[in-house]
Amino acid sequence: MDPAHPKLDDTDKAAMGTVDEPNKLQGYGSAPDIVDEATRVVDHKAERRLCRRFDLRLLPILAVMCMSAVDCARARVLISDSRPLDLFVALDKGNLGNAKTDGMTDDLHFKPNQYNLLLSIFFVPFVIFAPPLAMLGKKFSPARVLPILMLSFGSFTLLSSAAHNFGGIFALRWFLGMAEAPFFPLVIYYLTTFYRRGELARRLAFFYAASNIAYAFSGLISFGVFQIEGSRLPNWRYLFIIEGGATVVFAVFAWFYLPRSAAEASFLSEEEKALAFHRIQVDSSAVVNEKFSLRDAIGIFKQPTTYVFLCIEICLGVPLQGVALFMPQIVARLGYSTVKTNLYTVAPNVTGAVVLLILAFCSDYSRLRSPFLVLGFLLTFTGFMIYASIDDVHRELQVAYFATFMMTWGTSAPSVILSTWYNNNIAHEGRRVLLTSIGVPLANLMGLVGSNVFREQDAPKYMPALITVGAFGATGACLAGLLGLYMLLDNKRRDRRDGVTLHARDIPTDRMREGPSSPQFRWFL
């Protein structure tokens, strides 16, 4: 048996519960020549066991890798922030209850305008190098490229501890942006090679929830590191050494641990490998382990919906990055002490992870994406508008703090559901990885907007920033709702033409490879 393309004989089909009967859709009438019943796996118990094995084997490792990526990038940005109430700035050694500006920015003699430049330069290579490096990841397998990327950004973080001037940290930040550029798109693509379309959102949610937890607790780690006293090195250098060193060690482990594909997973039996290959081929990828072709991949830009998806990514990126970078400043307006301000940012991020998991599970259960994406955007919009409408937060402290929870609820879930949505609608592996490698960095690029609308002269209320971010959330909700409505109407039009009611799950994936141009195509709503 070819490990990359296992063949299914009659014994395998019997073990998996497939049936060779006339073409018929249960509950949807007959549809000759549209659905080949022999390609449908009906042994759901075997599938659930297989998914549990993938969950235990893949998700914890990928979550730790994700947290490492977040910590390496975020620590580098926010430790250098000169804002006195930021969660990640150095703490005064004489008074650990007060934050002050004597961390990395002072040690490396930053000039007043160099922090913003350091913050912004990350996004340039992050956007430029994501598509080409993601394509290489598709060619050589994410299981091999992801650990290499992790080793790279861990090494750059380690090297940051030895930086002695702005030029050195600036160059390292450029290379960090390169190393992290294809990381998240490749993880998303990697998971699509193990799970069916209706199983993907909750798995991606687990992965993205790790990001929220990293945002919530990396500040607590930094707090502990900055309490080290009597050391010969500045404490911020120890943070780089600890996080960078742990990342490098884990990258080596991940290289040997992650399977290249489901069909080559050593922890599966031959029957399980055949089942894994079969179910992805009929409900995820038209051609499993498809050889990458740039000419075929760029065909994704012939579809108008691609540009709508990218616009939604932009609308998502502004609130997502705005909340991630400036939650401490937003919470600071509530008037808590510095330490409480820092700690009070943890709860919104943790609840954001919980809401993310709830909405993702509901989305998978209902096999709907657009309604939950719209809900997430509306939560963002509502949270920012409630916060902006409060003139005296001290009189309405509980309402104002609750609004910060809504902000994180609305920025957490859409990132997962949006990525899942367009991956569900692309059966071509090359097109899928190309769109993901553009969409995810594009959302991160909006950090340039998020980092510049929260201006110091607008403190402490930041009214222009709150209105701007809320407006992006409202626009995202409108675009997602209209796109979902278009897909629903287009499915109904195709049903009327064919004289049968079909859903995306009813169509074998090889019939959907060419996207909407295929007459048998149905949108995954």
Give me the DSSP letters along 372-395. Answer: HHHHHHHHHHHHHHHHHH-S-TTT
Q: Quick check: 241 pLDDT over 60?
A: yes
Residue with tokens 């409505």, as numbered in its chain: 485
Indicate the DSSP class of residue 92.
P
Distance CA 427, CA 447 (A): 30
What's the average model confidence in pLDDT over 337-347?
69
Least confident of 65-74, 475-484, 514-523: 65-74
Q: Quick check: 6 pLDDT over 90?
A: no
What's the average model confidence in pLDDT over 372-382?
94
How many other C-beta atoms lie within 10 A of the C-beta of residue 33?
8
What's the average model confidence in pLDDT over 244-272?
89
**Using 50, 70 and 90 to split pLDDT, how confident is the model at 216?**
low
Domain ranges of the chain: 44-517
Distance CA 160, CA 236 (A): 10
Q: Quick check: 107 pLDDT over 80?
A: no
Distance CA 71, CA 153 (A): 10
CA nearest neighbour of 444 among 241, 200, 176? 176
Contact 525, 305 (CB under 8 A): no
Distance CA 240, CA 110 (A): 18
Q: Quick check: 90 pLDDT over 80?
A: no
Q: What was the pLDDT predicted at 146?
A: 94
Distance CA 417, CA 266 (A): 31
Q: What was the pLDDT predicted at 476?
A: 95
Checking 306-309 for CB contacts under 8 A at 24+ apart, the result is: 306/422, 306/435, 308/479, 308/483, 309/418, 309/421, 309/422, 309/435, 309/439, 309/483
Q: What was the pLDDT predicted at 436?
A: 92
Q: Quick check: 332 pLDDT over 80?
A: no
Backbone angles phi, psi at 25, to 5 degrees: -105, 120
Distance CA 256, CA 446 (A): 35
Contact 99, 84 (CB under 8 A): yes
Q: Quick check: 352 pLDDT over 80?
A: yes
Q: Quick check: 84 pLDDT over 80?
A: no
Angle between helices 130-140 and 183-192 (to 10 degrees): 40
> Of residues 334 and 274, which shows the higher confidence score?
274
> Of residues 472 and 461, which shows the higher confidence score?
472
Most confident of 115-119, 331-335, 348-352: 348-352
Q: 333 by DSSP, 3-state: which?
A: coil
Q: Quick check: 320 pLDDT over 80?
A: yes
**Using 50, 70 and 90 to split pLDDT, how confident is the model at 101?**
very low
Contacts of 214 (CB under 8 A, 6+ apart): 66, 67, 70, 71, 74
Contact 434, 297 (CB under 8 A): yes
Angle between helices 183-192 and 44-78 (to 10 degrees): 180
CA nearest neighbour of 279 among 196, 188, 364? 196
**Using 50, 70 and 90 to split pLDDT, how confident is the model at 286?**
low
Which tokens sit at 180? 């992290």
Q: Quick check: 255 pLDDT over 90?
A: yes
Question: How many residues in the chain?
Answer: 525
SS (H, E, C) 321-377: HHHHHHHHHHHHCCCCCHHHHHHCCHHHHHHHHHHHHHHHHHHHHHCCCHHHHHHHH
Round the CA-based radius of gyration of the chain to a whole number and report it: 24
Q: Quick check: 391 pLDDT over 60?
A: yes
Contact 149, 136 (CB under 8 A): no
Percent of the chain clearing pLDDT 90 (strictly above): 29
Q: Quick check: 189 pLDDT over 70?
A: yes
Q: What was the pLDDT predicted at 385?
A: 92
Angle between helices 44-78 and 200-225 (to 10 degrees): 30
Q: Quick check: 87 pLDDT over 50?
A: no
Least confident of 29-33, 309-313, 334-338, 353-357: 29-33
What's the average model confidence in pLDDT over 144-166?
89
Bridge partners of 91, per DSSP, are: 99
Percent of the chain clearing pLDDT 70 (strictly above): 76
pLDDT digits (tens, 9 = 90+) for 427-450: 888 899 999 999 988 988 887 787
Q: What was the pLDDT predicted at 134?
A: 92
Q: What was the pLDDT predicted at 283?
A: 79
Residue 266: exposed, middle, or buried by beta-carbon count in 10 A (0-12, 13-18, 19+)? exposed
Q: What was the pLDDT predicted at 73?
A: 59
**Using 50, 70 and 90 to split pLDDT, how confident is the model at 93?**
very low
Q: What was the pLDDT predicted at 111?
A: 73
Q: Quick check: 86 pLDDT over 80?
A: no
pTM to 2 decimals? 0.81
Q: Quick check: 117 pLDDT over 50?
A: yes
**Using 50, 70 and 90 to split pLDDT, how confident is the model at 279?**
confident
- Is CATH 3.90.650.10 the classification given to domain 44-517? no
pLDDT digits (tens, 9 = 90+) for 472-515: 999 999 999 999 999 999 999 999 998 888 888 778 777 788 88
Q: What was the pLDDT predicted at 340?
A: 67
Which tokens sit at 333? 């307006």
Q: What was the pLDDT predicted at 227?
A: 65
